[in-house]
Amino acid sequence: MRRLVPLDDADSAAEDLDDNALREAYAPPRDAPSLRLNFVSSLDGAVEVDGRSRGLSGEADQSVFAILRDHADAIMVGAGTLRQEEYGAVRLTAQRRDWRRARGLAEVPTLVIVSAALDLDPDSAAFTEAPVRPVVLTHDASPTDRRERLAAVADVVVCGESVVDLAVGLDEVRGRGLAHVLCEGGPHLFGALLAADLVDELCLTLSPLLAGPGAGRIVAGPTASDPTPMRPALIIEADGSLLTRYVRA
């Protein structure tokens, strides 16, 4: 992997990154809470191939995916993405758990699921095999019976009356000591977070593919009142992919 931005010297050649340097390049700020999103997209803007993002993700993207999880206190995901991408329990190797523990982090990040309808299977591995009890953010009008079933395997938190109030939900998550939240999608959750002005970072991998028409973008749903200015904090090239990290300007 070659770091293109930033470089210590503007005239220097691209810098090769080893594993330690790559981890450091994606370290979140520890002086304030943050919400970062991680997505992969084709060159022509597709968020998926054959219904899944995995068709766009190469080895470098998977490495960054794992590093972002290593840095996170919580992993946030929408219920649709949880089902579509067939999420299991969040698990880390013993080496990665040791790395987190040495830095004062919990051994495993907490899974946070955002769901309005609570169309979730409490018997799925994401719940039953979770090393840390997941959190489900929903609203007061969600089905009571589903809420009760999920309460056996997760902490169900009501945020809002008829829609999930993500600002309230994020405050609830941070109130549990989970300051650095990594959102892994999907597009509708990204759109809702953007509309609520809650996005601090976007880590976007541009896959060297042209997927053609059909697939949606990485963001969908409500329109944000104003565009959010961002600036590049990191650009890496690896096997034709561009791995970028943008932060609020």
| CATH number of the domain enclosing 177 | 3.40.430.10
Q: CA-CA distance, 214 to 48, in Å (whole number)?
A: 9
Q: Flag whether 26 is in a domain.
A: no
What the block records as the tokens of 17 is 């990154």
Q: CA-CA distance, 213 to 127, in Å (whole number)?
A: 35
Q: Flag whether 18 is in a domain.
A: no
Q: Which domain holds residue 158?
A: 32-38+49-248
End-to-end CA distance of the chain: 26
Q: Flag whether 9 is in a domain.
A: no
Q: CA-CA distance, 66 to 245, in Å (whole number)?
A: 15
Q: Flag whether 159 is in a domain.
A: yes
pTM of the prediction? 0.94
Asked if 26 and 71 count as a contact pair (C-beta separation under 8 A), the reply is: yes
pLDDT in tens, the chain (249 residues): 899 888 665 555 678 888 899 999 999 988 899 999 999 999 999 998 887 888 898 999 999 999 999 999 999 999 999 998 899 999 999 999 999 999 999 999 999 999 999 999 999 999 999 999 999 999 999 999 999 999 999 999 999 999 999 999 999 999 999 999 999 999 999 999 999 999 999 999 999 999 888 778 999 987 767 889 999 999 999 999 999 999 999
User: How many domains does the chain divide into?
Assistant: 1
Residues in the chain: 249
pLDDT of the residue at 8: 62
Q: Flag whether 43 is in a domain.
A: no
CA angle 12, 208, 96 (to 5 degrees): 75
Q: Flag whether 57 is in a domain.
A: yes
pLDDT of the residue at 13: 62
Neighbour tally for 27: CB within 10 Å: 12
